């Protein structure tokens, strides 16, 4: 019962607040953004986990042992406001607990009109069967993330090419809103080498109806990178890849208006803005 040691409990709570610092990148968070948390903890904290927007986060220790870091995300449908980051850890003399308010600002995304072949907006029965089968393939792949973090260090661009399409844009196909663009497009000519943005394990290297040549890399703990419209694969399912390793060549396969690379990043089922992921300064 807390009433038996209220004074001690208050002193420890004050200590936690005074010796703990929670920071995040980017400084301004919006819906659809990744968020890289860094926590400086009191001495003696050996493990740290958190709850963020209904998701569990496992923190990794910094190399200097002075704190922890973890990557999370904000669903694109999240309303602006303040949300709790709940932290809990293990320390020598008991538990470490802290709640930090985190502000999410409004975000506004553009709308673009795109014209594609009718087979991608009005598929026939045979194509619908393939789409349904592909949906099951993706569902299975997205459920296979490993429990341990595989990525390390900063994320690197997948191609050496300018961007041509941004995250969050509403896609109007042939006059009808069909989807939101949940990735980042690069104006990469067909045959451009495509690189893994960080280390991980290849979960899928296969051609699908909408995605075309499609690679999914698991980076662990629910973090995945997706590469679409590829023309050739350089890796196969089960391969371990390193940051910057060539995994494919770009193309125009699937639902695409021309040759380019579509890069997407998922965290525990949430699509995140890859442009922000690529600009995170991962602590060492």
The bridge status of strand 94-105 relative to strand 29-30 is: parallel
The matching CATH number, chosen from 2.40.10.10, 2.60.40.1890, 2.70.70.10, 3.20.20.60, for 111-277 is 2.70.70.10
| Tokens linked to 111 | 């709308």
Q: How many other C-beta atoms lie within 10 A of the C-beta of residue 252?
A: 16
CATH classification code of 2-105: 2.60.40.10
E strands, 31-118, where?
34-40, 45-52, 55-58, 60-61, 68-73, 81-91, 94-105, 111-114
Q: How many other C-beta atoms lie within 10 A of the C-beta of residue 18?
A: 9
> How crowded is the C-beta side of 232, counted as CA atoms within 13 Å?
7
- Digitized pLDDT (tens) for each residue of the chain, 284 residues in all: 322 333 333 334 444 454 679 999 999 999 999 999 999 988 889 999 999 999 999 999 998 878 999 999 999 999 999 999 999 999 888 888 999 999 999 988 887 776 666 666 677 889 899 999 999 999 999 999 999 999 999 999 999 999 998 998 877 766 665 678 899 999 999 999 999 999 999 999 999 999 999 999 999 999 999 999 999 999 999 999 999 999 999 999 998 889 999 999 999 999 999 999 999 999 97
Q: Is residue 276 helix, strand or coil?
A: helix
Q: What is the pTM of this model?
A: 0.87
Q: Is residue 3 helix, strand or coil?
A: helix
- Cα–Cα dist 187/260, whole Å: 5
**Residue position matching structure tokens 């296979």:** 144
Query: Which residues of the chain are in CATH 2.70.70.10 domains?
Result: 111-277
Q: What is the pLDDT of residue 116?
A: 61
Query: Which residues of the chain are in CATH 2.60.40.10 domains?
Result: 2-105
Q: How many other C-beta atoms lie within 10 A of the C-beta of residue 133?
A: 11
Q: What is the pLDDT of residue 100?
A: 96
């Amino acid at each position: 019962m807390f009433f038996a040691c209220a004074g001690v409990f208050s002193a420890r709570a004050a200590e936690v607040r005074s010796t703990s610092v929670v920071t995040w990148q980017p400084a301004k968070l919006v819906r659809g953004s990744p968020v890289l948390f860094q926590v400086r903890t009191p001495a003696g904290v050996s493990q740290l986990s958190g709850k963020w927007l209904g998701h569990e986060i496992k923190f990794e220790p910094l190399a200097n042992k002075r704190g922890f870091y973890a990557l999370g995300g904000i669903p694109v449908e999240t309303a602006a406001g303040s949300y709790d980051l709940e932290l809990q850890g293990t320390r020598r003399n008991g538990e470490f607990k802290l709640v930090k308010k985190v502000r999410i600002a409004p975000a506004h995304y553009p709308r673009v009109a795109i014209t594609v072949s009718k087979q991608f907006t009005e598929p026939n029965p045979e194509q619908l069967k393939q789409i349904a089968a592909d949906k099951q393939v993706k569902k299975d792949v997205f459920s296979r993330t490993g429990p341990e973090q595989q990525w390390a260090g900063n994320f690197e661009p997948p191609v050496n090419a300018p961007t041509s399409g941004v995250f969050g844009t509403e896609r109007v196909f042939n006059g009808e809103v069909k989807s939101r663009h949940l990735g980042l497009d690069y104006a990469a000519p067909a045959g451009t080498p495509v690189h893994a943005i960080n280390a991980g394990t290849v979960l899928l290297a296969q051609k699908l109806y909408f995605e075309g040549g499609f690679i999914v890399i698991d980076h662990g703990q629910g973090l995945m990178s997706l590469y679409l419209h590829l023309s050739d694969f350089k890796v196969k399912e089960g391969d371990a890849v390193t940051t910057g390793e060539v995994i494919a060549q770009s193309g125009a396969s699937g639902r695409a208006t021309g040759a380019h690379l579509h890069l997407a990043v998922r965290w525990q089922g949430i699509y995140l803005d890859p442009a922000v992921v690529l600009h995170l300064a991962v602590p060492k």
